[in-house]
């Protein structure tokens, strides 16, 4: 199948009714892998305690250590399970006429592992944009996405405060590690898993 990178300056005509989907945390269920890697660093963190803001602000993990663990997790996807319902969810979106596009904050050198993971699991997604840690707003505008699904609240909130939010669904994808986060802006909705996402759009 293959997943092709989209150049935001030359978006293919095939990208219609785009639903932008974050990779780490929405496609993958990376919390148990992060928990293991934190334990190797000497931090006794459960999978439910592996959210970036929780680790840094509530558990005293230095940002450099969090970034190191996050990078290791991003590069070693062999033991990372799929998020429950993602395969059938992507199929349902496509069958309903949407184009799922992965918009990820991974650095360029982390994209290869992501593409190999997508191919290994035969995920029905053909396109991705790598923002290289920049805000996702530009990618949403470039693809004319109708929605962004992301499990990072601070990233989706940043989009909600930009002109890119205009008319787009911004859905915070809840899971065990980010369930503690409170929604403090009415521009951001929530979705509890892939089955709820399918119910909204299909």
Each residue of 125-142: pLDDT tens digit? 999 999 877 889 999 999
CATH value at residue 196: 3.40.50.1000
Q: Which secondary structure element, helix H or strand E, spans residue 77, and what is its range?
A: none
Could you tell me which residue, 14 or 105, shows the higher pLDDT? 105
Same domain, 53 and 144: no
Boundaries of domain holding 153: 4-29+81-201
Q: Which residue's entry shows tokens 């992965």?
A: 102
Phi, psi dihedral angles at 103 (to 5 degrees) = -115, 110
Could you tell me which residue, 83 or 8, shows the higher pLDDT? 83
How many domains, the chain? 2
In whole angstroms, give the CA distance from residue 71 to residue 108: 12
* pTM metric for this prediction: 0.94
Q: Nearest to residue 83, comparing CAs of 171, 173, 5?
A: 173
Share of residues in the chain with pLDDT > 70 (%): 100
Same domain, 53 and 105: no
Q: Is the pLDDT of residue 66 over 80?
A: yes
Q: Is the pLDDT of residue 1 over 70?
A: no
In whole angstroms, give the CA distance from residue 194 to residue 202: 11
Average pLDDT over all residues of the chain = 94
Helices 63-75 and 111-120, axial angle in degrees (round to 10): 40
């Amino acid at each position: 199948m293959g997943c092709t990178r989209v150049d935001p300056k030359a978006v293919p005509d095939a990208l219609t009714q785009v639903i932008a989907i974050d990779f780490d945390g929405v496609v993958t269920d990376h919390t148990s892998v992060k928990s293991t890697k934190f334990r190797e660093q000497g931090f006794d963190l459960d999978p439910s305690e592996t959210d970036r803001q929780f680790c840094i602000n509530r558990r005293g993990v230095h940002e450099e250590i969090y970034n190191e663990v996050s990078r290791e997790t991003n590069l070693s996807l062999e033991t990372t399970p799929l998020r429950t319902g993602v395969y059938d969810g992507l199929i349902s979106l496509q069958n309903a006429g949407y184009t799922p596009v992965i918009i990820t904050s991974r650095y360029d050198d982390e994209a290869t592992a992501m593409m190999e993971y997508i191919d290994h699991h035969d995920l029905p997604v053909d396109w991705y944009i790598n923002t290289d840690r920049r805000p996702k707003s530009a990618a949403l505008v470039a693809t004319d996405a109708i929605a962004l699904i992301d499990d990072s609240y601070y990233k989706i909130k940043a989009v909600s405060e930009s002109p890119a939010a205009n008319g787009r669904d911004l859905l915070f994808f809840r899971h065990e590690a980010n369930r503690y986060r409170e929604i403090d802006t009415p521009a951001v909705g929530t979705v509890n898993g892939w089955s709820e996402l399918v119910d909204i759009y299909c």
